[in-house]
A and B are shown apart, each in its own frame.
Chain A
Amino acid sequence: MSTRLSQGGRLIDRSAQQGFSFNGKRLKGYAGDTLASALLANDQMLMGRSFKYHRPRGVIASGAEEPNALMNLGAEGKFEPNARATTTPLFDGLEAASQNHFPSLEFDVGALNTHLSRFLPAGFYYKMFIHPRPFWKHIYEPFIRQSAGLGKAPKARDVDTYEHFYAFCDVLIIGGGIAGLQAAKVAADAGLEVMLVEQDPHWGGRAPVDGTGIDGKPAQDWIDTTVAALGDMPNVTLRARCMGAGVYDHGYVLCYERLTDHAPKAAGPRHRLWRVRAKQVVTATGAIERPLSFAGNDIPGVMLAGAVRDYVVNYGVSIGDRTVVVTNNDDAYRTAIALKEAGLEVPAIIDARTGGAGALGDQAKALGIRVETGKAIAKVKGGKRVTGVGICAQAGEGSILEEIACDCVTMSGGWSPVVHLWSHCGGKLIWDDALAMFRPDGDRAPTSHDGNPFVITAGAANGALSDVLADATAQAAEVVSRCGGKTDAAAPTEANTAENAIEPIWLMPQGAAHKLRSKSWLDFQNDVKVSDVQLAAQEGFESVEHAKRYTTLGMATDQGKTSNINGLAILSKELGVDIPQVGTTTFRPPYTPISMGAIAGEARHEIFQPLRKTPMHDWHDANGAHWEPVGHWRRPYCFLRGDETPEKAVHREVLNTREKLGLLDASTLGKIIVKGPDAGKFLDMMYTNMMSNLKPGRCRYGLMCSENGFLSDDGVVARISDDTWLCHTTSGGADRIHAHMEEWLQTEWWDWKVYTANVTEQYAQVAVVGPNARKVLEKLGGMDVSADALSFMGWADGTIGGFDVRVYRISFSGELSYEIAVPANQGRAFWDALLEAGEEFGVMPYGTEALHIMRAEKGFIMIGDETDGTVIPQDLNLHWAISKKKDDFLGKRAQMRSHMADPNRWKLVGLETTDGSVLPDGAYAVGEGTNANGQRNMIGRVTSTYHSPTLGKGIAMGLVHHGPDRMGEVLDFPRVDGTVVKAKIVDPVFYDKEGAKQNV
C-alpha cells in the first residue's frame, strides 16, 4: 500500500494539516502536498480510468507530464475538469473527483472494453463506423459521444477573475531549476533585465531530490542563496507558480501564473497571463523521464523512477513496501538508494543493460540491493494494483525466469529534454545517439525579427543531464553576448557521479511476442500500445504525423509528454529506419493546458467587449430601450412602453412618426471632415457621384465603392465651405471609411493637399422627423427653419433653443425631417429639450427598426441589407448617383468589366406578398428547371422584408433576375418548411412616390 512515512518530505509542513475529499471520501494531507501526493499518502493509488478501455489508472509521474491522474476539481462556479493531480496544490477544503468511469471508479462497466481490446485496435473507429452510412448520425455518433470525453464540461459560470500583464525584458528564463537560476544569475550580473518563471511553487527543480552537490554543499543551500541574491537585484523579476506556456514569433512568450489555485479563498485574480516580449528566451525546462514498454506497465503501482523518488523525498510518501526498479540507465538507481535509505524494501534492480551501472550501482549493491543485469520485465502481475513481476532476459522473448513479489514497480527508460518551448517557434532538434534523446540543435534556433536566434536552452533541457551548471553558465554567457553585454561568470562546482551510458531500450524484452506487445502501453491516457503503433506502420501510416492521428498516440490532454519518443522509436523500428528519419510530431503551445479564463483576461461580463454609447444612451436605457448591437454601438431597436411587445412598439413608432413627430438618436452616424485645396478632387474619386460641384450650404447623397466596383458605404455629404466637406457614413462604417480615405491619400495620392478628421463622436445628432418637425423647432426658436430659408437637401448653422446646432434637411424616412448636430456634451440636454417642446406635437422617440421600416417603405437601400459585398450600385438602380461626367472614381473601371455589365445580373425590385404576409428574410425565389446539382434554379432573393404599419401589409425589397422588366409578375419563395409564399414584383418605392411629404 502507499502511505505517508513518519519521516521526511522536504516540501510538506506536517504541522499544517489540510482536509480534502476524493469522490466524497474525507481525507487528510499536509500543506505543501500536491493532490497526488496527498492521495498516495491515503493509499489512494487508483485515480482514474483510461480513455478507451477504461482501465484502472494510478498516477505514474509527479509533474506536468502526468497522463493518468486527471480530476474534476471543485463545484459550481469553481468547477474545473481534467486537472492533473500532480500539479494541483492541496488546500484545505479541496474537492476532487475522478473521471471517465461509470458507475464508480472501483467498478466501471466501460472496463469491459479492455476484454474487447483485441477487437478495438488502432483505427478501430475509422474502420468500424464508416458503414452503413446512415448509422453514423443515428447510432454511432450518439454512442461515441456518450462514451467519449474525460472530465465533465462545467455548467455554472466561472466565479473567478483573470487578467493579463504585458511585460518586457532582455532575457526571459523559463524554468527555475538550478540551470534557470544559474542562467538568471549570470545574465543579471551582466546587467541585463531578467525575468525568471517557474511552474512549481518552489525553486531548484530536481537537484535537491537527486542529491546534487554544489560548491561542496547540498544543492538546497546554493538554491536558497541564489534565489535570495536574485530577489535582491532590481533588474530581476522572479515569478513562481508561473509556467512558460508558449514561445511565439519575435520573442513573444505567454506565461501562465496560477495565483490562487493553491488558496482559492484568497481574493484577486485566479490566473494571470503574462504576455512577455523578450529579446532573448532561455528555456531551462529540464527533462521528462520515459516509461519502459513492457507488458502490464499500465497497472497502478507501476511508476516512473524519478516520480517515486520525488514522492519519498519531497512528500515523505512511500508508494509501496517492496519496489522493483527496472531501468536502462544509472539514474533509476538513485530511486533504489533513496527508497532503501527511507527504510523501504527494494527486492531487485532489473537493469536491461548487460554492463549495469557505474558508481551508483556499487552504492546500491553496498546497501544490499540485488542488481540483475541484462534482464527485463516479462510482465507485471496484478489488476488494480501491482502484486509482482515476472523477470526474463532482455535479449529473449519473455520466458519468465523468476517471479518477484512487489507492490510497486518503478521504471526508467531514460530522460527526454523538455524541448517543447524551444520547438514552438521553429527550433530544430537533433538525435543524440549516445544519450538516446532528441535535444535542441543550437545551430538551428528560432529566429526573431532581426533574423538572429532568440531562444537558447540550458541544462537538462539542452541534453546536459549532468554538468547542468556548466552548461547553464555557457548558454547564459551566449545570451549576454547576444544582448551586447559581457560576462566572465564561472560555473559553481557541481558534484556529479560518473554514470555508465544509457542503452536505448524501446521494447522489453527485445523479442516480445504480440501477446506481450499488446499489453505494453505507450500512451496511458489514450490507451495506445506498442502493437497499435506497429499495426499503423503495417497499414501504411509511415509518417509520424499520420501514425499519431491514426493511433491517437500523444493526442490526449498530456499531449504525449511521456509517450511520444517511445512511440516514434517503435515506429522507426517497424519501418526499419533510424529515429531521426521518423522525426517528431510538432510541438505546439501551450506546454500544458491553460484556462480559458486566463486567455480572456479581464474581458468578461460588462467589459467582455467595448460597448459604445451615444450621449443619449442613459435616457434610452431609462426609457424602455430594447437594445440592438450595431457594430460596438448599442442602439435602441425600439422603446417599449408598459408590457408592449417589440412588434407593437415598432408599429406605434412608425405610425406616430408618419402622423406626428418622431425623434431618432442618429449620433452613431459617421461624420468625417475632408478639407484642403484638393478635397473636391479627392471626393470625386471617393464617391461615384460628383461632389466637387456641390454648392456650400447644400447636401448630396453619395455612394462609395471599392476598387472592385462593389458598393461599400453610402451617406449624405454636405459642403461646409469652399475647401471643406462633411461626409456622413453608415453607423458601422465610420472608422472603416475614414481609414479608407486616409489609405488612398497616404498611399496613392500623397501629393494631394487633403486632410481628414473623423469627428463622429464630437457630435450628438438627432433626427427630428414627421409632419410636426418644423413646429417643434420653431417653438424652440433661434433660427429660420422654414422651407424657404432651409430647403430640402440644404444645411445651415445656427441656434435652436439656445443650442449651437448644425441642421441638415435630409430625410431617410420620407417625412419632413431635420437632422440636427450639437456638440456631444450638449446632446442629452438637446434631446431633453426636444422631448419637452415636442410634447404638444405628439413627440415620440423611435428606434432602428422603425427607421428601417420607414426607409424600406420609401425604397431606400440599406448598406448590409441590399448590399453584401457582391452588389454594385447599378444592381440597385442607382445609376442616377453614378456620375457620367467623371473620367474616374474608385470602382468605375471595375464596373465596366464584363460580369459587372452583364444584363443578367439580379436587380432591385419591390416585392409584395399576394396574401399580405411578410416574406422570410433571405428567402430565394425559384424559377423553372434545375441546376447541375439537381436543385431548383434561383432567380432572386429577398434583401429586406418588413410588415409595413403604414400600408398594413408585408413589403420587401429583393434582387431579381431581370427584375425591373418583370413588374407585376408573381414569384414563388419557398419557406424552409416546404410551403411557398407568393410575391408580386412591384416598384420598390411603396410610399409617397412623388416625395411630396419630405419636401414641404
Chain B
Amino acid sequence: MSERDFDGLARIEQVTGLGMISVRGTLTDAGFQAAVVAATGVSVPDRGTVSTGAGRTVAWMSSDEILVVCAEADAKGIVDALNAGLAGTHHMVTDVSDARAVFRISGGAARDVLAKVCPVDLRPNMFKAGQFRRTRMAQVACAFWAEDETAFSLIGFRSVQDYIWDVLTTVASRDAPVDHFAS
C-alpha cells in the first residue's frame, strides 16, 4: 500500500501497511539464527546487507541487532514467535511498526536522487542489490537498501516522515536532473 506517491526524476512512494520488529541478540549464535528463521522464514543477513524471502526483509542493523520488515498483520505473531524462540537467552524483541516510515525510490535516476541527500557511495559497482546502509538523509537518520539496480527502500523515523517526503520530492524534481549515474 502506498500512502502517497510522486513522479519526478524518480518515483517516490510512502509505503504503509508494514510491520517492523527490532531484534537484539547474539547474531552469530546458532540458536538466534534458528529462531529468526523459524519466526520469519528469512535468515539472519550478513553485515551490511538484507536478506529477503516470503515478502519479508531482514536487515543487518548492527552487530547485535536486526530489523524484520513484514506485513503489518504479521508483526504480532512474529514478535511472539521470536520471544518464544529466544526464551532463555539474553535478547530483546521490540515492535517498532509505528515508530518508522518507509519510502520507496525507484526509476533510472533513483541513485541520483539519493546521492543528493545521502553521503554514501552509490556507484552501481559499489552499492549493489541487497546492500544495506544506515546513514543520514539531509538532516535526519535513515537506512536504505537496494532492492535491485534502480529501486531502493528507505526507512526513517515516523516524526520526520513529512520532512523526508518533502526532501525526497524536492530533490527529485524533474527540473533538477543530474544524470550522474549511468542507468
Contacts and interface: CB of A to CB of B under 8 A. Distances in A.
A272 B180 CA distance: 13
Given A166-B116, A166-B119, A676 B158 contact: no
A268 B171 CA distance: 10
Interface string A821-833: 0011110000000
Contact of A755 (B24, B116, B118): B24
A15 interface: no
B139 A610 contact: yes
Contacts of A366: none
Interface stretch (A495-503, A539-547, A758-766, A850-858): A758-766
A614 B126 contact: no
B116 A163 contact: yes
A405 interface: no
B95 A762 contact: yes
Contact of B158 (A165, A673, A761): A761
B182 to A, nearest CB: 6
Contacts of A673: 92, 94
- Among B122, B175, B177, max chain A CB count under 10 A is at B175
A268 B176 contact: yes
B121 A168 contact: yes
A294 B36 CA distance: 82
Interface stretch (A599-607, A909-917, A965-973): A599-607
B22 interface: yes
Contact of A602 (B92, B117, B119, B120): B117
A276 B145 CA distance: 22
A613 interface: yes
Contacts of B139: 603, 609-610
29 contacts: A165-B180, A166-B116, A166-B122, A167-B115, A168-B123, A193-B123, A268-B175, A268-B176, A269-B175, A275-B119, A603-B138, A603-B139, A607-B138, A607-B166, A607-B167, A607-B170, A610-B163, A611-B162, A612-B157, A612-B159, A612-B160, A676-B90, A676-B92, A759-B99, A762-B95, A763-B98, A823-B97, A824-B98, A825-B97
Contacts of B178: 165, 272
Nearest to B118: A166
A762 B20 CA distance: 11
Contacts of A677: 90
B160 A610 contact: yes
Contacts of A761: 98-100, 157-159
Interface in B142-161: 157-160
B24 A277 contact: no
Given A268-B173, A761-B99, A762-B95, A614 B159 contact: yes
Interface string B23-64: 010000000000000000000000000000000000000001
B91 interface: yes
B96 interface: yes
A824 B175 contact: no
A430 to B, nearest CB: 35
Contacts of A614: 159
B69 to A, nearest CB: 15
Interface residues of B, number: 44
Given A237-B180, A602-B117, A761-B99, 20 more contacts: A163-B116, A166-B116, A167-B115, A168-B121, A193-B123, A268-B176, A602-B138, A602-B167, A607-B167, A609-B139, A610-B139, A610-B160, A611-B162, A613-B162, A633-B159, A676-B90, A755-B90, A757-B94, A762-B95, A762-B97
A613 B159 contact: yes
A598 B158 CA distance: 29
A164 B116 contact: yes
Contacts of A267: 175
A484 interface: no
Nearest to B112: A165
A823 B98 contact: yes
Contacts of B24: 755, 757
B163 A611 contact: yes
A824 B166 contact: no
A234 B182 contact: yes
A753 interface: yes
Interface residues of A, number: 45
B126 A755 contact: no
Closest 10 CB pairs of A and B: A268-B175, A824-B98, A612-B159, A755-B92, A762-B99, A267-B175, A761-B99, A168-B121, A610-B163, A755-B24
Contacts of B119: 166, 275
Nearest to A164: B116
A738 interface: no
B90 A753 contact: yes
B71 interface: no
Contacts of B180: 165, 167, 237
Given A753-B90, A757-B92, A761-B100, A602 B116 contact: yes
Nearest to B159: A612
Interface of A: 161, 163-168, 193, 234, 237, 267-269, 272, 275, 277, 602-603, 606-607, 609-615, 632-633, 673, 675-677, 753, 755, 757, 759-763, 823-826
Nearest to B178: A165
Contacts of B175: 267-269
A193 B121 CA distance: 13
Nearest to A825: B98
Contacts of A168: 121-123, 126
Interface in B124-148: 126, 138-140
Given A267-B175, A824-B99, A611 B160 contact: yes
Contacts of B140: 610
A611 B140 CA distance: 10
A993 B182 CA distance: 71
A165 B121 contact: no
A762 B90 contact: no
Contact of A165 (B96, B97, B115, B173): B115
Contacts of B112: 165
Interface in B72-110: 90-92, 94-100
Contacts of A606: 166
A612 B140 CA distance: 10
A673 B140 CA distance: 22
A163 B117 CA distance: 9
B62 to A, nearest CB: 10
A613 B160 CA distance: 7
Nearest to B95: A762
Given A607-B167, A612-B160, A759-B96, A166 B115 contact: yes
A826 B160 CA distance: 17
A233 B156 CA distance: 37
A193, A761, A824 interface centre (most CB from chain B within 10 Å): A761
Contacts of B98: 761-763, 823-826
Contacts of A615: 158
Nearest to B20: A762
Contacts of A676: 90, 92
A368 B111 CA distance: 61
Contacts of B90: 676-677, 753, 755
A71 to B, nearest CB: 27
A607 B116 contact: no
A377 to B, nearest CB: 50
Nearest to B91: A755
A967 to B, nearest CB: 44
Nearest to B101: A761
Contacts of A269: 175-176
A441 B117 CA distance: 36
B86 to A, nearest CB: 11
B183 to A, nearest CB: 12
Which of B24, B94, B112, B123 counts the most chain A CB atoms within 10 A? B94
Contacts of A610: 138-140, 160, 163
A825 B162 CA distance: 15
A193 B181 CA distance: 12
Nearest to B139: A610
Contacts of A763: 98
Nearest to B170: A602
A810 B157 CA distance: 27
